[in-house]
Structure 1
Amino acid sequence: MTQTMANTHTAHPPFTASEQLANHLQQLLVDLSELSLQGKQAHWNVVGRNFRDLHLQLDEIVDAARDFTDEVAERMRAVYVTPDARATTIAEATTLAPFPAREVDSATTVDLIAAALYAVSGTARRIHDDVDAEDPTTADLLHAIITRIEQLAWMVDAENRIANQSVPAQVNA
């Protein structure tokens, strides 16, 4: 004889996300997921000058994107939001421009991946103030994401820069 147990568990979390916070974190999750996919697409299909270094650098970008994807999804669960990183959701909701489905020259790959990194950073920066107002703890995660993603963007973008000529120009303190 099988007995079913009534659901008697009731959690009393001190904080649960609002719909706005849930939507913001979902968008960041989608964009980070797309970044990891684009990074691998680039990794497999980059050709040209400085191939090997760029090939390895793309893996570093993918690793960071995947780590942050997991951290965002787990934070979502911690504040009672269900993350959705299914392929169809990512394809429908990403704010990143598409990456080509062919071989891509290394210089073009640098520009495309730098743009993708800056797009993810842009998403994190766009949602930051709303997230911080509702949940400073989650905002701390955004700080780490922005710091690392912008560092990776600077590093990959430097491949195509021309000293003292590229835009944006450096600000001298």
Structure 2
Amino acid sequence: MTTEFTIPGLTNEQGSEVAGLLQQRLSAYNDLHLTLKHVHWNVVGPNFIGVHEMIDPQVDLVRGYADEVAERIAALGQSPKGTPGAIIDDRSWDDYSVGRDNAISHLAALDLVYTGVIETGRKIMDRIGEIDRVSEDIVIGHNAELEKFQWFVRAHLENAGGSLANSGADSESEAADQARP
């Protein structure tokens, strides 16, 4: 259901377009926080506790991003969809493919997840910025934090020469295999 109003200064069509783009972010954030929790539960090995404890704050912040985006969608006069079906309908990516594995393998796979979420966020940010600067600002803030989280992940994968253990991997499972000691 949509309303007959949106944010002042936007047309209903503009509000609807921005809400549709934010819905893509909502589904990505819901998928990401579930993926992060999956990693949190399935990481093992010598670096277990450091990675286990690094992931939970990321889960909490990404859940907060989902809430903020859902509330913005509602303010735009649209209905945010936070169901598992919405995630599936909106996603252009495959389900996270690594189960119980060592910390470095999970981080190598998670690096690719972050790359996908960040790249898509930047594209959405550019389009939203043409219509609604307030919504753009929200997405910019989220992307900045996601980029920091990816830096945390990559710090575990980087060698002294500046190369990543998962360099060139095209899939999460390939990244995990490539980084596995």
Higher CA-based Rg: 1
The answer to whether the 8 A contact 2:125-2:136 is kept is: yes
TM-score normalised by the chain length of structure 1: 0.83
CA distance in 2, matches of 1:161, 1:94: 29
Asked whether the 8 Å contact 1:96–1:116 carries over to 2, the reply is no
Q: How far is the alpha carbon of 1:18 from its aligned partner?
A: 3.6
Q: Tell me which amino acid in the other structure corresponds to 2:44.
A: V
Match of 2:134 in 1: 137
Could you state the TM-score of these two structures normalised by the residue count of structure 2?
0.80
Instruction: Report the Cα distance in structure 1 between the residues aligned to 2:28 and 2:145, rounded to whole angstroms.
Output: 15
**Pairwise CA distance, 1:97:** 3.7
* Equivalent of 1:151 in 136, 140, 148: 148
Structure 2 unaligned blocks of 5 or more? 168-181
Paired with 1:165 and 1:136, the residues of 2 have a C-alpha distance of 36
**Alpha-carbon spacing, 1:18–1:110, altered in 2? closer, same or farther (3 Å):** same
The question of 1:36 aligning with 2:44 is answered no
* Higher helix residue share: 2
1:123 aligned residue (120, 143, 152): 120
The answer as to 2:87 corresponding to 1:90 is yes
Runs of 4+ in structure 1 over 6 Å off: none
**Consecutive unaligned residues in structure 1, runs of 5 or more:** 1-9, 169-173
Distance 1:143 1:107 in 2: 29
3-state SS in 1 of match to 2:52:
helix
Equivalences, count: 159
Task: Give the root-mean-square deviation of aligned CA atoms.
Answer: 2.0
Distance 1:49 1:122 in 2: 31
Work out the CA distance in 1 between the residues paired with 2:32 and 2:155.
19
1:171 alignment counterpart: none
The answer to whether residue 70 in structure 2 is matched with residue 73 in structure 1 is yes
1:52 aligns with 2:14: no
Q: 1:135 to 1:45 in 2, by over 3 A?
A: same
- What is the CA distance between 1:19 and its match in structure 2? 3.5
